[in-house]
Each structure stands twice: as C-alpha cells, then as structure tokens.
Amino acid sequence: MKISSRLCLSLSWALGLLFSGCGPTDEAPAPLAAEPGFATELAFPGQQGKVVRGTVALPGGEQELSYERFGDTAVLEGDILVRAQDHGTRSAKGAIKLWTDYRWADSFIPYVIDPDVPNPQRVLDAIAHWQARTPVRFAARTAQTDYVRFTRGSGCAAHLGRIGGEQLVVMGDGCSTGNTIHEIGHAVGLFHQQSRYDRDSALTVLWGNIQPGEEINFQTYVETGDHGFDVGPYDTGSIMQYDPYAFSRNGMPTLTLKSGAVFSTQRTALSATDIADVNAMYAERVRLRPAAAGTRCLDVQNGIVANGNPVWSYACSPSTAQVWYMMPNGEVRTGLDTNYCLSVNTGEPLLGASVVIAPCDGSLRQRWTRPPVGEELRTSMDVTLCLDLHNASTASGARVKLWTCTGNNAQKWQRFVRLRSSVNWNRCLDVWNDTAANGTATMSFDCNDEVGQQWYFASNGEVRSGVNPSFCLDVRNGNTAEGTRVQIYTCNGSNAQFWQFHPEIGMMTSGVAVDRCLDVSNASSESGAATQIWDCNFGLAQRWMKL
C-alpha cells in the first residue's frame, strides 16, 4: 500500500511572469497604527439579508450555495460581493482559486477612487501597505478593461479575485485603513480565514450563539462545494480572520480556540501567512534541479534562515529548504521564509561569487531573469553571468556560484512542480511509493512535497518524474483506448510520453491522441485513485493545476 505517513506540507504555489516592480525593503515596513474600524467587515451593517440557496457557477463547476440577498446585491460571508452570474466564484486565505482566470495578470491591479469617497488617503495607505509587502502592484487606471473601483457605501465589501470588467471595493465612512487592507485582500483573491477546510482543527464554532440565518457565513469552502487549496497552518492573526464575536445573537463569542479561549483579531497589517498566501497565488512554487545532477536540488544550507547563509546542491527531499518562489519581479524567495531572497553575496557581478539567501531588499543582486528559451537564471546585475553548479558536481553539498553563461547543464535549473487535482483539494499526481521503475503506476494521492509528486515539464513535451528525471509520465503501451493506465517509464521520445498542458482550462492532453486527457478514474476523490487517459470532457477528473 501507499505509505500512509506522508504529510501534506504545502506552503504555497502558483504563477510567475517577470514583472518590473519594487520588492520589500531590508526591514519590513512597520505595521500601520491601529485606528477605529470594524473587526468583522459587513457590506450592510445592521441589516440582515434574505438567505437564498440555488445552483451557482463555481470555477470547478456548478454547485448549490447559500448566500444573502440585499435587494439586488448578493453577498457571501458578510462582505464578499458576487454577481448574479458568478455567485460563489471565490477563493480563500490559504485556499487559492483553481483557475488562473481569477488572478490579476502580471500581479497588476488598476484602480479608480471615486471623488466622493471620504478620506481617500486610507485607500492610498492600504495600497502602499500591500505594495511594500507583496508582489502585487497597483496603479491608477488609464484604459484597462479590468479594474477595481473604490466607491462609497454603507459598509465595507469587495468582489473576490479578478471577475472581469469593473469590480467594486465598497468603502463605508467607518472603514479604516485596516478594513481596506482586508477588502483589497478579497479583490486580490483571499477568502476569509475561518472558511478554510481545517478551520475546525483550530477553532470551535458556537452555533447556538450565531444570529439565526447567519449560520451560512460559517461554512468552510469545502462545505459550500467550492474548490480551493489551503496554504500553510491556520492563522488567527490573519487580517482575513473573523472577529470571535462575529454575527453574535447574544453578545457571546461565535468562535473560540479549541481550548475555549477567546482569541483576538487585528486589522493592522497583513500577517506573515497572509503574505505567504499572496506569494503563493502570484508566484511560481518550484523546486530547482540542475540538469547536471538530476537527483540534486537547490537547497538552503542546513535549512537555516540567516542573512548570508549559502545555498548549495543537495539530495532532493521533501524539505521546505528546497522550495522556491519565482516572483513576478524576478526575485527567487525561499520557502523557509518568503522575506528572504536568493542573492549574490558580494552584491557585485564577479566570477565565482557565492550565492546566498538574504533579506529581500529589491536590489539587482536579488533579481534573476529567465531567457525566452532555456532554463538559466541570469543575475540582473550582469545578464552574462548565470547561477552555476560548481564543476557540474553531482555530490550533495556542491557549491553554487555565479559564472559566465555557457548554456551547459550546470546552469540549467529545471523547475519541478506539483499537479493538483480538482476532484479533491488535497490530491496530487503521485508515483506509487516513489518507485523509479518501468511501469510504476501513477495515482491521485494526498498532496505532499516528496519526490513522487514532483514533475518537470520539458520543452519537448515530456513530463519527467522527480523520483528520477530519466523516467517520464507514460501511457501504458501507447494505447489510445479509454481507461488505459498512466505510469512512469524510461523516457524514450514516444508519443506515449508527450503531453500538452493547457493552463487556461487545467487539462493535459496526451500525445497518443488529441482527444485523450489525463484523468482520475471514476472522478474518485479517494487517496490512491488510479490515473488513466479518457476522452477529454472538461470534467473535474481532468482538471489539474501546477502548484
């Protein structure tokens, strides 16, 4: 049987296109001073809407969903605005939208502030707070089709993620800068913390204290039928966390810690995990392997987060020291602490200069470019110098440095990713027992960071396995019949090992036939479900995401 002790250690993941922008400073900016505001944001303070339930469109398909209607306005969880055609289309803090359509292209959000919004400085301060801590960039709208409009209203509310066209962030007169940071979080794509699937492992919901009709605001996104992926541990310090007295009917708490203690909430600053979540959504989560040593990964020495700690090539493992985020602005951040970046130690483009991690400071020594063709990482200080594995060593602990770009395998850093299945928030494409052997089956299994769930999409269409990059994702015997099992097999250049990933729909078509897709057998959400090829049908069993 599959080894059952494998843990889901996921911290983050997602997209990464090079985008010029300012990174964090050496010192994280101080949190904003606390100011009057709301601990739980509401679109219509003091009012209760009509609870409506119906079939609604979600990123992964249609689901039944309960929401509140205030006249012509539909609201989820108090402050999330939804349009009639996309009720329930949403993501979560720690639950990233399944489809990239709901993210802002190049991490860029155009905005407009209506002239009648009181104290527009709170909006500008909230935007500055986001830009100082995350890869998300903002600018006043010129002619962009998709943009955010900050508009005056009775409460605090926002649409979730990029919905297309104009979308609102509603600013009541009492909405503080902290409330605005929270609402921008929704617009970026974050959902409420307490809607995570694992909420009940951290908090107790006191259902008897909740106002009648408002219970729908305490459903996890799994219970509502939505699709998302939790990121990192539960964080009551998140700026997206409900107040413990939210929607109370009697002045008693509606949420407590498992111990029964009442926790505190804050609307001062994005928490470290909020920042990690946004990094996950707007960066590419990868493991970097040198082509010269395919079972070695770029690793932070001894897993220590410290200014100047070297990076080296080390045996690939589930360690977070080998997780990297390729940021839109060219930074490469370590999964150990996303405030630390891959950096040229000397700060000068010198042959043989060592490469370390250091607090992200936005300098060129921490910016890396990727050429249109190839897998090199070139320092922005001098694009003729590349991240290089010393002497193309295959030994664990080999030094990593800068050297003149030559295009050799010591400078090709292959980006291994996971493939998450839409049939279950916690299922990833996996190699049975991490066994590198011809014919080893692949399956949908509990997501983790082991080598069996690491995949490299080669430019020639092969999908190589992290257990051994000489093995490829393969259709057994090259058969085209529906239900043919998918396995790993020695890479041989056959059509059975060619795949095309379509990120806009999340489907992988097989080289054996253009109408055959990578599929979870019977759309099973069970751990260990078989994978096969099947007639492409756009179902959840054929939707995958690189994370």
Q: Which residues are catalytic?
A: 183
For residue 182, say whether it is annotated as part of any ligand binding site: yes
Contact 459, 470 (CB under 8 A): no
* Assigned token pair, 332: 């490469």
Contact 120, 113 (CB under 8 A): yes
Contact 227, 59 (CB under 8 A): yes
Beta strand pairing call for 108-113 and 80-82: unpaired
Helix axes 121-133, 177-188, angle to 10 degrees: 60
Among 245, 168, 229, CA closest to 195:
229
Beta strand residue intervals within 105-225, DSSP E: 108-113, 137-140, 147-152, 156-159, 166-171, 203-205
Gap between the Cα atoms of 371 and 13, Å rounded: 22
CA dihedral angle for residue 345, residue 451, residue 376, residue 510, rounded to 10 degrees: -160
Furthest-apart CA pair in the chain: how many Å?
70
Backbone angles phi and psi of 299, in degrees to 5: -140, 145
Residue 253 gets the label, from left (phi > 0), alpha (psi -120 to 50) or beta, of beta
For residue 502, say whether it is annotated as part of any ligand binding site: no
Q: Where are the alpha helices (DSSP H) in 266-311?
A: 272-282
* Assigned token pair, 371: 């050429």
Helix, strand, coil percentages, rounded to 5, for the chain = 15, 30, 50
Among 332, 372, 345, 378, CA closest to 23:
332
For residue 192, say whether it is annotated as part of any ligand binding site: yes
Any bridge partners for residue 92, and if so which? 95
* Assigned token pair, 181: 């940071």
Contact 244, 266 (CB under 8 A): no
Binding site members: 182, 186, 192
What are the binding residues for Zn(2+)?
182, 186, 192
